[in-house]
Structure 1
């Protein structure tokens, strides 16, 4: 629910949305879905084994392209902007850290829990029907790829209230400290590879902090020349680190676990967003564009979570048939990608219609009490047990079922959000007024 303020006439008035953030999020999501259709390529070998090939990622020309189109940092910049604003609005209504954590987890894990449960049931049925275990594991692995994003985004968002307090006191010191932690982990990951996964927290929290600066409006005061300088400097430093051999130039390799290169990309993308904000605002303000991206934004998590499982299922089923399978990277394979994208969209539409409402926050009467802090913290731990296991050891069919059970338990622990924390709190509502602009009212996952 988007908070409203009430005018003296009693008519509900929505605070201004940041349409540029809506547009940026839609662009990022669309780019991820399209690029994944050009990556998933199952290979059936002569001995009957099945493997998955990342066709697009294996193209030499794609390495400099993905440098520009690796938009995952922009997701977290946008999440930092709207997350900080959501936190401030919640505080204005009398909410606390655990109320914020509860709302964030419910928005993310409710659609994920249903996905995991359906996948577990469907793949077990396929296994009992005699489908080759290799094909099933291929589907499990492909479908599990979105879970790393869920883990990283949850880690950043659950730490947001704490980081927001630090930002209010010492914004630059907070960002420098997080950056130093990122560099420290990168320096030690060679001796202790598992330590690299700490940057799932440090890198994305640092990128999220960039969104805090944008939310405060500080970069808006910078001129176009200064913003262009930030973009150039970030990419020059990134290029130097790659040239010295300290990091890979392939941003897909740098993604999981993340490293300093993603933070540098985040700086460049945050500045790019501000540099082109006037033009993006004009595009996003068009009536048709505004309605479309608003609708897509309310169901973005459902699209993100389901698109890879559906793509993996579609390609896996084709492997089991006699349908011609062109080799990945051939001209026939590339010409077939638009058809794959159309088929994927056709599968996504009914899924969004069926499960999209799970992204809406369940509310209880305004007189209900907030959930105990212990219940919220326990829910966070319960969610991270299977997610951390999948990140470190890979997703398996058994872990898929365990993850669904853990997510369901977390949802029970979180319960419902008291309506006073999400409903109107304007002068006539008896609650404190919402913060004034430039805060936006984007619906934040």
Structure 2
């Protein structure tokens, strides 16, 4: 399947679908936190829960909305493509990987440091025993950043494994993740489950190195004379492969969840087991399912992006600001909630979702967004420098 030359000419030189997937996956996480985080005040301070613990059956939505596997997958493809360009200029892969990791590590470390210092000062001055817990809740999404940074820094190793052993690396990562779950659930080996932070997320990241093979972009026709590929090209074999990945992942999820060994939700739910912290083999199945779905909708999304309408313009803005929004969205949410609580008190938010609570979910975005934008401005202003292309922006 291919788009017309006129539409193709409207697409950027870098892979627009890679940009879309990165921005979309981050925005889903942000909106989930803003809309569906329920904060409960108790004797020991605030604790967080979600409607998943109260509303039966909606955990099935997490099979589409827990999209971190997509971010790891497409992020690996973007970094690999950027490395291939850097290698043509003579860069060494260790230097490249550490430079890319530093681009994300510096603002993340700054954010963490500011909140730690703020927590110590505010907690000490006002004698707030719960301040440490509140700070931990705000910076908790950084676990994902730390894991992602690990795989970016380890690109010299993973790229070598990919070139030397190809798909066998995926087989080993998936198999080792299964063994870890056996040791965890069958033999209750303590702390062994955390090894799957490497095997499960490593599987999603390593799978991204196969993106061109999965999507069929290796065979896509290129324009003359600039050589830009038809990003929406999708041969019949790739589409069949996408359907196969979708159903294999779906059937694996159904089998694992309804075996009773794993919870149905792909995000953590208070009082239940978690498939995310640390990850289980359900996330492997989720990765296959979501990548299959992503490939099935790729031609449609690219047609929409090429049209130049509101969808394309909106995604252009989100692509630019998705990563800063992700880094600082919990800070903005904390500031927004602090203003609400100072005005209306701590008991304004009910524990169990009601019909009114559900109807107000779109409105719940406004406060955190308005509070996050100034934080992004302050940090980006401090770090402003001349633009240079790198893997945080380029793909294809």
TM value normalised by structure 2: 0.81
Pick which of 125-134 and 82-91 moved more: 125-134
1:44-193 to 2 correspondence within 5 Å?
44-45=41-42, 48-58=43-53, 59-130=55-126, 132-134=128-130, 136-190=131-185, 191-193=188-190
Unpaired runs of 5+ residues, structure 2, are 1-10, 217-233, 268-273
Flag the 1:336–1:291 CA change in 2: closer, same or farther, 3 A. closer
The alignment covers a number of residue pairs equal to 355
2:31 & 2:137 partners in 1: Cα distance? 15
Where do residues 190-339 of structure 1 align in structure 2 (5 Å cutoff)?
190=185, 191-216=188-213, 219=216, 220-221=234-235, 222-252=237-267, 253-287=274-308, 289-316=311-338, 318-319=340-341, 322-323=344-345, 325-328=348-351, 329-339=353-363
| Contact 1:25-1:78 at 8 Å conserved across structures | yes
In 2, distance between residues paired with 1:270 and 1:358? 37
Label 1:178 to 1:49 Cα distance change in 2 as closer, same or farther (>3 A). closer
Secondary structure of the residue that 1:51 maps to in structure 2? strand
The 5 Å alignment of 1:394-409 reads none
User: Over residues 243-271 of structure 1, what are the superposed CA-to-partner deviations in whole Å (9 max), with x where a residue is unaligned?
Assistant: 22232211112111112111111111112
Q: 1:216 to 1:119 in 2, by over 3 A?
A: same
Which residue is 1:411 aligned to?
A: none
Residue 129 and residue 95 in structure 1: after superposition, are their counterparts in 2 closer, same or farther (change >3 A)?
same
8 A Cα contact 2:246 2:293, kept in partner = yes
Please point out which of 22, 35, 39 is paired with 1:25.
22
How has the CA–CA distance of structure 1 residues 296 and 218 changed in structure 2, closer, same or farther, with 3 Å as cutoff? closer
Residue pair 1:106, 1:361 contacting (<8 A) in 2 also: no
CA distance in 2, matches of 1:357, 1:184: 47
Q: In 1, distance between residues paired with 2:276 and 2:394?
A: 26
1:286 shift after superposition = 3.6
Kindly indicate whether the alpha-carbon contact (under 8 Å) linking 2:245 and 2:288 is maintained by their aligned counterparts in 1. Answer: yes
Quote how far apart the aligned CAs of 1:206 are.
Answer: 0.8
| 2:350 pairs with 1:343 | no
Contact residue 243 and residue 296 of structure 2 kept, 8 A? yes
1:194–1:362: structure 2 CA closer, same or farther, 3 Å change rule?
A: farther
Larger deviation, residues 30-39 vs 209-218: 209-218
- Give the SS at the match of 1:189: helix
- SS where residue 337 of structure 1 aligns? coil
| Cα separation, 2, equivalents of 1:90 and 1:199 | 31
Question: 1:108: Cα distance to partner?
Answer: 1.0
Give the RMSD, CA atoms, in angstroms. 2.8
Structure 1: gaps spanning 5 or more residues: 1-13, 364-418, 424-439
Aligned equivalents of 1:140 and 1:194: distance in 2?
Answer: 25
**CA positional deviation for 1:325:** 0.5
Q: Which deviates the most, 138-147 or 332-341?
A: 332-341
The 2-side partners of 1:310 and 1:131 are apart by 23
Residue deviations 1:72-95 (CA, integer Å, cap 9, x gap): 111111112111111211211111
Question: Partners in 1 of 2:159 and 2:382 — Cα distance?
Answer: 28
CA distance in 2, matches of 1:199, 1:441: 26
1:107-147 residue CA offsets vs partner (Å, 9 max, x unmatched): 1111112212322333233224415322x133212112211
